[in-house]
Structure 1
């Protein structure tokens, strides 16, 4: 369950307007995820945007997903240490 939540939140952060490489605070992360999920019509819309990016621009999509996961694993309500297999499965 925790990995599904992490994956959904990472997809939303990936699909957001935050710039890759930024270090937003926990409140900004939560607000951005909520706004992006609403704007994209749910988590499926976020995943669709992510899939499109990976298909069209894989060279920038992979670093963006790594950034999203790093931001989330630094947030207070996500475990600080996520097993590597969960990061790779996301």
Structure 2
């Protein structure tokens, strides 16, 4: 279940306006994820990610790498819950 939550959070952060150059705080990341999920829903976030990967794959790959780095520690890994 944690991997599903992390996937949803990654898609939501990906479509947010936060940029890596902002060096966002954990709170800013959490707020951006929440705002994008409320605005677009999970399906809408996934659709936006797919569009970006189709239109700008080279940029999308770099952004998704950054997104995953940002979410490390924000969404608890499964083994940390036991």
Q: TM-score, normalised by structure 2?
A: 0.85
- Displacement of 1:20 in angstroms is 3.4
Runs of 4+ in 1 over 4 A off after TM superposition: none
CA 1:67–1:22: 2 relative to 1, 3 Å:
farther
Equivalent in the alignment of 2:38: 38
Equivalent in the alignment of 1:73: 72
Relative to structure 2, which stretch is displaced further, 27-36 or 17-26?
17-26
Equivalent in the alignment of 1:28: 28
Q: Which runs of 5+ in 1 are unaligned?
A: 80-90
Deviations 1:26-48 (A, max 9, x none): 111111111111121x1110110
| Pairwise CA RMSD | 1.7
Count of aligned pairs: 78
Q: TM-score, normalised by structure 1?
A: 0.78
- Displacement of 1:24 in angstroms is 1.2
**SS state of the match for residue 20, structure 2?**
coil
**SS state of the match for residue 59, structure 1?**
helix
Q: Which runs of 5+ in 2 are unaligned?
A: 78-82
- Displacement of 1:21 in angstroms is 4.5
